[in-house]
Amino acid sequence: MRSYLPAVLLVLTTFVAANAGIPAGKAVISGHAPGYEGRELVFNYYSDLITYTEVEFLRAAVDSAGEFSAVTPEISEPVYIFSFSDAHYLYLHVEPGMEYRVVLPGYEPRSRRDALNPYYEGIPTHIAVVNHDDNELNALIRDFDEFYEALFGEVFAKLSSQRDSDLLDSVRVVAESRFEGSGHEWFDDYRRYKMAFFKIMSRMETARSISDAYFRDSPVLCGNIAYMELFNQVYNNYFLFFGRTARGSSIFEDINRYASLSRLRSTLESDMVLGADRLLELVILKGLHDSFYGSDFSRSALLRVLDSFESSTDFPGHAEIAGNIREKTTRLMTGFHPPHFELKNSDGEITDLSAYKGEFVYLNFCTAVSYSCLSEYDLMQRLDKLYGEHLRIVTIFIGESFEAMDRFLQTNDYNWDFLFYGNQPSVLRDYDIRVFPTYYFIDRDGKLLMSPAPRPSEDFERYLVRTLRREGVIR
């Protein structure tokens, strides 16, 4: 999870929903966004905090005066939302029944260097409450995070090297004196689990003792980012850890030989620290997720166990996490659907990946400033002329702005589809883009045929012709 840095002040006023007529279970976000005139703000949230799957939360069009307003979907608890706003990464905790009036910092485009960095997200900017309501959630978190970040200096160094329990007690006393009595239950859980995370990172407590004290007999708080941050640390690669013990040694056969959820569950139930069913299931999900990224478990067996879990769990939220794990771990595997995207085309209209279903797609990620990309454009133009009847070439354009893509197309005679990545920069992470250009070949069912695919200069045409002949499209 992104660490919270000192806030860059944004003007935000909140009002109690009862005074504003806000629909039950929703919130209103409105405000002024200088420099964003004619643009659209997109806020996302994480649908779960194991896979960190990003899902759109709301969109808000900014008018010619720089004003915008939007009503959120219905929510039942605080939700962490964020927006990739070119040079800024804006984030806010939104509670049901609140109205937020926001003034964003002036629009600032990314530098060319940052625009070409697939992992650059922007300057973290916490939207701050300024009507001095000390019990408003964002104000509480901002103040606590400033205190918390300061701990990871001299205090953290002393605790890590000296294991000074008296110093840890003094830190706890200071934290409690400053932040107890907020009256905000979600925030109280947030700071409690943040402080537990500090304990384990400073090696003052073991993962096992933290598990026993903070998880076994405690409520499962899947929507609290601090709870899940600690959970992910404590149960990281849990299958490997428990599999090295006498009680857990059968876990490798449970998965690799039998692909059996029931056997896996029975093995894990012998670890009493896991407690009730909901926590046990969450640990299973975390273990399955982590195991996809190692070499100790068969991927096909993990997928079978995951499918069994998704169809049998009694917790709806857990079924969603299982689905997210499947999508995340298979998204670039041949034979599976690639990550979904919704990006602006050259006409400024939103185009999503499903629009190309029924066609072969040569998807590529390119820029206008990379020689490697530029050298492939003419070869793609040739492919488009020869096979355009059977193949859709789609370029996801990475540049400083939508206008930069427009200028590029105005000066070049390329007739295939260009999509601008800017309203969904996470598409670069989703497709694991590390170099430009990168290519993928997608079949008519919308599944990956080649991942990644060769460049045009690497004789992609030969693979294309072979595929079209095999499918009976050409002779």
The full DSSP string for 94-136 is E-TTEEEEEEPPPP-PPPHHHHT-TT---EEEEPPP-S--TTS
Taking the C-alpha atoms of residue 214 and residue 3, their distance in angstroms, rounded to an integer, is 21
pLDDT digits (tens, 9 = 90+) for 281-319: 999 999 999 999 889 999 999 999 999 999 999 998 999
The architecture of the domain spanning 11-131 is: Sandwich (2.60)
106: tokens are 């002036």
Domain boundaries, the chain: 11-131, 144-234, 243-329, 342-470
Per DSSP, what are the bridge partners of residue 388? none
> What per-residue confidence (pLDDT) applies to 177?
84
pLDDT digits (tens, 9 = 90+) for 46-77: 999 999 999 999 999 999 999 999 999 999 99
Packing angle of the helix pair 277-291, 316-330 (nearest 10 deg): 0
Proportion of the chain above pLDDT 70, given as a percent: 94
Give yes or no for residue 343 having a pLDDT over 50: yes
The CA angle 467-468-471, to the nearest 5 degrees, is 85
Task: Concatenate the DSSP letters of all residues of 219-259 into one string.
Answer: ---TT-HHHHHHHHHHTTTHHHHHHTSTTTTTHHIIIIIT-
Q: How confident is the model at residue 8 (pLDDT cuts 50, 70, 90)?
A: very low
Which amino acid, 47?
A: S
Taking the C-alpha atoms of residue 4 and residue 50, their distance in angstroms, rounded to an integer, is 19
Q: Domain 342-470: state its class.
A: alpha beta
Q: Are strands 40-46 and 28-32 parallel, antiparallel or unpaired?
A: unpaired
**pTM recorded for the entire structure:** 0.81
pLDDT digits (tens, 9 = 90+) for 124-179: 998 766 665 778 899 999 999 999 998 887 777 777 677 777 787 888 888 888 88
